[in-house]
Amino acid sequence: MQRLQLEDVVKIYADKTAVNQISLGVDEGEIYGLLGANGAGKTTTMRMVLGLIYPDEGKIIYNGKPYSKELRQIMGYLPEERGLYPKVKVSDQISYLAQLRGMSAKDADKSLRYWLERFEVPEYYNKKIEELSKGNQQKMGFIAAVVHRPQILILDEAFSGLDPVNVELLKSTVKELRDSGTSILFSTHRMEHVEELCKNITILHRSNTVVQGSLKEIKSRYPREDVTLGTSGEVNGLEQIAGVSKVDRLEDGYLIRIEAASAAQQILQLAMAQSTVHRFEVKEPTLNQIFIKAVGESNE
């Protein structure tokens, strides 16, 4: 049984279909990537999972059961637009939110102190949100989402606005939560984060699912189009090989775009005949390339 399942979920605003028949499932201890261009329907999907808005069609199932108010206690949410009160102290605010989700005052305080230590900012306990920098406010938002140890965690652009050190800190925290069994629905525009964290993904475009599956399987569906060739000297005639569409000279070799898989072997043979080859790789497509292709193709 999956921890979270969406079955043909639809949301319509007046005459606008914001989400059109999305289906997906998230296991215990899994980070699921929900991707899409601006306005694709990610936030609407997340808000439906949280029970903040209701689907017009389809089903959302949590541990095998439909939505009920008690689920608020097992869900955590870091919204894209954040949402902590600027004038309220970190301790008052996060402890209150944790108690709303079923924790005792004592456990809420203990958990908050743990997370502030974990993020190396115990001194923020008595600070008001408005006194913190934007990135640090975001860390407090993250703590507010996880303070009650939710089973299902919804992260909308969790790493935006953070410096590289804090991105690493939050990323390692997200991995730890996954490893301790949390199911995470994760939305971002940063494809390298998805490559690092997510096993399965859905790419939405204009409310519809355009790509779905495991990252590994999706990558195998798309052709390998980039060849990197490291050589000790010049290689002539690469452009003339059938199936080669672009050749870029690099410091120590070439980056070659191919349209036919057969071109790769011919590139290697030509290079070996003219020079010493110290690197040859037919690269699998990046998620960035797949995203641009999928969204571009469905635009057409």
Ligand X SMILES: Nc1ncnc2c1ncn2[C@@H]1O[C@H](COP(=O)(O)OP(=O)(O)OP(=O)(O)O)[C@@H](O)[C@H]1O
Binding site for ligand X (CB under 6 A): 13, 16, 18, 36, 38-44, 80
* DSSP assignments along 101-137, one per residue: TT--HHHHHHHHHHHHHHTT-GGGGGSBGGGS-HHHH
**Could you give the CA distance from residue 286 to residue 175 in angstroms, rounded to a whole number?**
21
Compute the least distance from the CB of residue 140 to ligand X, in Å.
21
Residue 177 tokens read as: 């939560």
Q: How many residues does the chain have?
A: 300
User: Between 105-118 and 134-146, two packed helices, what is the crossing angle to 10 degrees?
Assistant: 140
Decide whether 34 or 229 has the Cβ nearer to ligand X.
Answer: 34
Give me the phi and psi of 184, to 5 degrees please.
-125, 125
- DSSP assignment letter at 69: G
Contact 235, 280 (CB under 8 A): no
Amino acid at 203: I
3-state SS assignment for residue 275: coil
Enumerate residues 6+ apart whose C-beta is below 8 A from 267.
227, 229, 238, 241, 244, 256, 258, 280
- HEC secondary structure over 220-277: HHCCCCEEEEEECCCCCCHHHCCCEEEEEEECCEEEEEECCCHHHHHHHHHHHHHCCE
Q: Which of 2, 42, 52 is nearest to 22 (CA)?
A: 42
Compute the least distance from the CB of residue 17 to ligand X, in Å.
8
**Could you give the CA distance from residue 117 to residue 213 in angstroms, rounded to a whole number?**
37
Decide whether 49 or 71 has the Cβ nearer to ligand X.
Answer: 49
**Could you give the CA distance from residue 73 to residue 150 in angstroms, rounded to a whole number?**
7
